[in-house]
A and B are shown apart, each in its own frame.
Chain A
Amino acid sequence: MKTRAILLLLLFILVASGSAHAQESILDLSVSPDLLQVAVGGRALLAIEIENRSTHEADDVEVIWASGAGVVPEEPLEPIDSIAAFSDGLVHAIVVADPDLEAGIMSVPIEIIYTYCIGELCFQIVEPLELMIEIVEAAAEQPDVVVPPPDAESNLPWQAGSGGLALVLLLAAGILRRTRRAPWLVALLIAVVAVGAITIGVLDGQHEQAQGIGAVLCTSCVGLEIARTEEPALSSEGIEALEGITEEIELIVFSAPWCHACPYAKGLVALMAETCDRITYMVSNVDEEPELAELHGVIRANRTVVPAVLRVDTGEVVFGVEDLEVRLLEMFGRAE
């Protein structure tokens, strides 16, 4: 009986701790444009960017609009089946403003609902988001609003077909090798596969991808430190130290979308900026803006290292996420 009670207690602690961890949000939401302008009775295009900054997949991501909001989507929004770990999702919506609305700025509450699972435990998260909308007087001529086509990132069927062909050629080479009848043909087939695959890869930009992966060093990727995936939090000492900052501090957080340690660094700096209004920051994606990292010298031994936090006025840089709060406070001159 006693053993059973202990086991039940352990199970409860396990589930409770798992739940406590899992109830955290795993998506970063942003809206483009920040302030959407819609004419009275008119239409406008809104983009909701959803960034999954966790190691878990977010499933059934749905945007729910408050009823009677005055500005509503023209058509029901398509849910996103899943957003893989460390990747992005995008929801475009053409919204229509009620003809009875008055000009001015209004906020429209929406909710992003999604689920994610850790092992057997699955959780539904409801994330509120406020849309800031400026209602303007109707223009004489309404501009045409259309949803942009999705980015053509990958031509998978075409690529899968080519991959299948390569496989067939390799198999053919293997069979020929078995028969030992035409060794030159075997070599030729393999050479064709190699040249063909490299050509397709280069046309698809995969050589640039390979170079990019090699040129940027993510501190957790090769095991220089452990990627922290928990929600960033400030210690009470850290909050106290931040509240004592009197000078303006401008930071740049250098990150890459595929870097597992970067979301923590971004989150912690955002938290510091929320706590202390003297701190301002911007985030730079080194894949998109390598020249900015180069300009600020966030490079060690020919590698752009991410995550990195740069203090612009002094040029000091902190790499990685280990003891990040303490090291950033040291950089601000606020460490104990």
Chain B
Amino acid sequence: MTLGRWRRLVQGSGILFGLFGMTGIGMTHIIFPGLHCYACPLAVTVCPIGLMQNLVVFGTPPFFWLGAIVAYGLVAGRGFCGWFCPFGTLNDLLSFRKARIRSSFSLSKYVVLAGTLVGAWAFADTVFCKFCPAASIEASLPYLFLGVADVNEPFLIHMATLGAALLGMVLISRFWCRYLCPMGAVLSLFNRVSLLRLRLDTDRCTECSACATACPMGIDPHKEHDNHNCIKCGACAEACKFSALSLGFGLPGRKKDSR
């Protein structure tokens, strides 16, 4: 089986895990390794960004949250964006244009992360959740059909942010993951030390840039294979005819990775 098919399989399991509540299991203690609204009627896991805001509001030292995030970061870093996150999968499915835009714009997701924290602190509320497009799909729409919510101002705001995010995804591949996802921003901090790694064999690389063309995140894997934005989807490894790039688990900081 190709890497791409493996990824679709794992992405499918990510969606199934996200919707595991259909089995009747209620909410568990598990923090989801991606952006997945805990208000989703079928969710059995806690949204890390929603929880993070609540911890700020309550003033709780975030040990449990931190431990889970560090563990996820160590295992795969942003690999969860590329392989597991249901909202990342939606980005993937709408990635028609693999646009390459100045990488410095991708720092905007850290601004969103900082804004999420400051918003929670300043307003003592989960401000980000009111705009989150994942919540639009997973909470606003289901609860409208369940008769708990109405078409009101917050609902329309959710639909507007969802519409904008979907439009962005169609125009720029992985738009949300690249520029706006606060969870992506958190996991990216671990990208260079995570066990799931993109390896580059410099002896085999011909610098043909086929990997850069294939990359949905708009980066040059043969130049920066441990970029903070890399979601380790393996599209570059599949595109490389010379097998210079490969995806696998290994200890961080191997010398042969660098160039």
A260-B125, A301-B41 known; A207-B64 Cβ under 8 A? yes
Q: Binary interface profile of B, 58-88, with partner A (CB < 8 Å = 1, else 0)?
A: 1111111111101101100000000000000
| B21: nearest chain-A partner, CB-CB | A302
Q: Binary interface profile of B, 122-148, with partner A (CB < 8 Å = 1, else 0)?
A: 011110011110010001101100101
Q: Of the 9-residue stretches A59-67, A128-136, A190-198, which lies at the interface with chain B?
A: A190-198
Are A156 and B61 interface neighbours, CB within 8 A?
yes
Chain A at the B interface: mostly helix, strand, loop or mixed? helix
Are A215 and B27 interface neighbours, CB within 8 A?
yes
Q: Which of B24, B43, B71, B149 contacts A219 (CB 8 A)?
A: B149
Q: Which residues of B contact A319 (CB under 8 A)?
A: 148
User: Any chain B CB within 8 A of the CB of A97?
Assistant: no
Q: Which residues of A contact B171 (CB under 8 A)?
A: none
- A177–B150 Cα gap in the complex (Å)? 51
- A310–B71 Cα gap in the complex (Å)? 42
Are A190 and B74 interface neighbours, CB within 8 A?
yes
Q: How far is the CB of B31 from chain A (nearest CB, A)?
A: 6
A55-B124, A85-B124, A187-B252 known; A177-B193 Cβ under 8 A? yes
- A225–B139 Cα gap in the complex (Å)? 12
Are B135 and A201 interface neighbours, CB within 8 A?
no
User: Any chain A CB within 8 A of the CB of B195?
Assistant: yes
Q: Binary interface profile of A, 124-161, with partner B (CB < 8 Å = 1, else 0)?
A: 00000000000000000000000000000010100110
Q: How far is the CB of A96 from chain B (nearest CB, A)?
A: 36
Are B46 and A222 interface neighbours, CB within 8 A?
no
A206-B64, A214-B46 known; A177-B155 Cβ under 8 A? no
| B41: nearest chain-A partner, CB-CB | A301
Are A222 and B67 interface neighbours, CB within 8 A?
no
A177-B252, A219-B148 known; A225-B154 Cβ under 8 A? yes
User: Any chain A CB within 8 A of the CB of B255?
Assistant: yes
Q: Which residues of B contact A204 (CB under 8 A)?
A: 61, 63-64
Q: Which residues of B contact A8 (CB under 8 A)?
A: none
Q: Binary interface profile of A, 207-225, with partner B (CB < 8 Å = 1, else 0)?
A: 1111101110101111111
Q: Which residues of B contact A2 (CB under 8 A)?
A: none
Q: Which residues of A contact B21 (CB under 8 A)?
A: 301-302
A84-B124, A211-B28, A225-B152 known; A303-B41 Cβ under 8 A? yes
- A196–B251 Cα gap in the complex (Å)? 20
Q: How far is the CB of A95 from chain B (nearest CB, A)?
A: 32
Q: Which residues of B contact A160 (CB under 8 A)?
A: 61
A225-B149, A225-B150 known; A194-B67 Cβ under 8 A? yes
User: Any chain B CB within 8 A of the CB of A332?
Assistant: no
User: Any chain B CB within 8 A of the CB of A117?
Assistant: no
Are B51 and A213 interface neighbours, CB within 8 A?
yes
Say which size band chain A's interface belongs to.
35 or more
Q: Which residues of B contact A303 (CB under 8 A)?
A: 27, 39, 41
User: Any chain B CB within 8 A of the CB of A180?
Assistant: yes
- A166–B50 Cα gap in the complex (Å)? 23
User: Any chain A CB within 8 A of the CB of B29?
Assistant: yes
User: Any chain A CB within 8 A of the CB of B26?
Assistant: yes
User: Any chain B CB within 8 A of the CB of A115?
Assistant: no
Q: Which of B42, B74, B140, B153 contacts A226 (CB 8 A)?
A: B153
Q: How far is the CB of A214 from chain B (nearest CB, A)?
A: 4
Are B63 and A197 interface neighbours, CB within 8 A?
yes
- A222–B130 Cα gap in the complex (Å)? 5
User: Any chain A CB within 8 A of the CB of B188?
Assistant: no
Q: How far is the CB of A271 from chain B (nearest CB, A)?
A: 23
User: Any chain A CB within 8 A of the CB of B5?
Assistant: no
Are B26 and A186 interface neighbours, CB within 8 A?
no
User: Any chain B CB within 8 A of the CB of A17?
Assistant: no
Q: Which residues of A contact B246 (CB under 8 A)?
A: none
Are A187 and B148 interface neighbours, CB within 8 A?
no
Q: Which residues of A contact B163 (CB under 8 A)?
A: none
User: Any chain B CB within 8 A of the CB of A183?
Assistant: yes
Are A301 and B146 interface neighbours, CB within 8 A?
yes
Q: How far is the CB of B99 from chain A (nearest CB, A)?
A: 30
Q: Which residues of A contact B62 (CB under 8 A)?
A: 201, 206
Q: Which residues of B contact A85 (CB under 8 A)?
A: 124
Q: Which residues of A contact B51 (CB under 8 A)?
A: 210, 213-214
Are B46 and A186 interface neighbours, CB within 8 A?
no
A201-B67, A207-B64, A226-B154 known; A213-B38 Cβ under 8 A? yes
Q: Binary interface profile of A, 31-68, with partner B (CB < 8 Å = 1, else 0)?
A: 00000000000000000000000010000000000000
User: Any chain A CB within 8 A of the CB of B253?
Assistant: yes
Q: Which residues of B contact A217 (CB under 8 A)?
A: 39, 139, 148
Q: Which residues of B contact A86 (CB under 8 A)?
A: 124
Q: Which residues of A contact B41 (CB under 8 A)?
A: 300-303
Q: How far is the CB of B253 from chain A (nearest CB, A)?
A: 4
Closest 9 CB pairs of A and B: A201-B64, A301-B41, A197-B67, A198-B67, A183-B253, A201-B63, A206-B64, A223-B130, A215-B27
16 contacts between A and B (CB under 8 A): A173-B193, A187-B74, A194-B71, A195-B71, A196-B67, A197-B67, A199-B67, A201-B67, A206-B60, A206-B65, A208-B29, A220-B154, A223-B140, A227-B125, A258-B58, A302-B27
**Which residues of B pack against A, CB within 8 Å?**
21, 24, 26-29, 31, 37-39, 41-43, 45-47, 50-51, 54, 57-68, 70-71, 73-74, 123-126, 129-132, 135, 139-140, 142-143, 146, 148-150, 152-155, 157-158, 190, 192-193, 195, 251-255, 258
